[in-house]
């Protein structure tokens, strides 16, 4: 004779069935990707910076809202190429390349502006600009153009930056126009502020003397969420920002300008 009542045996079977179904429904949590280890794009290793001289057209002003159509570009251009593939920064030498940019301030030539374009390559020499402006990456990337006023004397030799626009010897306007496709297949130009293309104007600082030399640290910031400062907005940090919360630097480049003033 079975020592266990039929009702008790059915109850035990039900408990066992629930346990089996519960274990089947559980999934192993997916380990999130550490974006600091895998940013989703190659490392920018070779940078080519081209500075093209131009003049603001009549009736146009230099502002963050300016358009490429506001400037008449000349044929005069200069190119700096930096190669970090060896682990050390090296300048590309030879015809067509310079180590320093030569520019004119607006105190010398009113309405003088410069188009600065930046192009990146991988360590193997492959162009990678498209990686930085893909649908997944474009809202994570923004260049910053920080003026170095000097270096600390505490032994660290850390750069001292201009932290306010009034202290800057230049102004900058993002003027990216990136070809993209809409869902219906039609193409348009996206004015997303990345800094692969933008205008520089060298000016007398509002609160200081005008320098003959300007040192700029250009940083390509990679934001781990978004470069926009609030949800649903298109507001970005100022181009001269020195603190970038929630971001890492993809590349840093120190660029020197010799400035002709009045």
Strand 101-104 relative to strand 247-260, pairing:
parallel
pLDDT bracket for residue 254 (50, 70, 90): very high
Mean pLDDT taken over the chain: 89
Task: Give percent of the chain with pLDDT exceeding 90.
Answer: 74
CB of 39 closer than 8 Å to CB of 131: no
User: Among 30-34, 156-160, 221-225, 247-251, where is mean pLDDT lowest?
Assistant: 30-34
Reading the block at residue 182, the tokens are: 């809409």
List pLDDT tens digits, range 168-226. Answer: 999 999 999 999 988 898 999 999 999 999 999 999 998 888 999 999 999 999 999 99
Q: Cα(135)–Cα(182) distance, rounded to whole angstroms?
A: 12
Q: Which residue has the higher pLDDT, 21 or 150?
A: 150
Q: Residue 198 has what pLDDT?
A: 98
Three-state DSSP at 234 gives coil
User: Among 50-59, 95-104, 180-189, 249-258, where is mean pLDDT lowest?
Assistant: 180-189
Q: Cα(87)–Cα(93) distance, rounded to whole angstroms?
A: 18
In the chain, where are the structural domains located?
Answer: 46-260
Beta-ladder partners of 187: 181
CB of 234 closer than 8 Å to CB of 228: yes
pLDDT higher than 90, residue 55: yes
Q: Cα(12)–Cα(133) distance, rounded to whole angstroms?
A: 59
List pLDDT tens digits, range 108-123. Answer: 999 999 999 999 999 9
Q: Cα(209)–Cα(102) distance, rounded to whole angstroms?
A: 19
Give the predicted TM-score (pTM) of the model: 0.84
Q: Residue 36 has what pLDDT?
A: 63
- What burial class does residue 244 get, using C-beta atoms within 10 Å of its C-beta: 0-12 exposed, 13-18 middle, 19+ buried? middle
List pLDDT tens digits, range 130-144. Answer: 999 999 999 999 999
Instruction: With CA atoms as reference, report the closest residue to 140 among 218, 194, 197.
Output: 194
Task: Give percent of the chain with pLDDT exceeding 70.
Answer: 86
Evaluated on CA atoms 221, 224, 229, 232, the torsion sign reads: positive
Phi, psi of 18 (to 5 degrees): -60, -40
């Amino acid at each position: 004779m079975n020592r266990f009542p039929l009702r008790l045996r059915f109850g035990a079977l039900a408990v066992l069935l629930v346990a089996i179904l519960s274990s089947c429904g559980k999934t192993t949590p997916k380990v999130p990707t550490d974006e600091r280890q895998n940013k989703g794009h190659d490392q920018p290793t070779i940078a080519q910076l081209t500075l093209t001289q131009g003049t603001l057209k009549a009736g146009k002003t230099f502002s963050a809202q300016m358009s490429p159509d506001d400037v008449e570009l000349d044929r005069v251009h200069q190119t700096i190429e930096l190669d970090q593939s060896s682990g050390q920064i090296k300048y590309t030498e030879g015809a067509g390349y310079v180590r320093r940019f030569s520019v004119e301030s607006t105190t010398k030539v009113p309405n003088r502006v410069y188009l600065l374009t930046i192009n990146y390559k991988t360590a193997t020499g492959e162009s990678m600009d498209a990686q930085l402006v893909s649908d997944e990456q474009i809202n994570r990337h923004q260049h910053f153009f920080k003026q170095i006023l000097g270096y600390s004397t505490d032994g660290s030799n850390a750069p001292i930056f201009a932290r306010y626009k009034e202290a800057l010897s230049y102004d900058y306007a993002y003027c990216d126009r990136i070809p993209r496709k809409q869902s219906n297949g039609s193409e348009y130009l996206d004015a997303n502020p990345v800094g692969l293309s933008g205008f520089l104007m060298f000016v007398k600082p509002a609160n200081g003397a005008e320098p003959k030399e300007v040192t700029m640290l250009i940083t390509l910031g990679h934001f781990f969420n978004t470069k926009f400062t609030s949800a649903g907005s298109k507001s970005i940090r100022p181009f001269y920002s020195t603190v970038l919360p929630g971001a890492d630097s993809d590349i840093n480049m120190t660029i020197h300008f010799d400035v002709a003033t009045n």
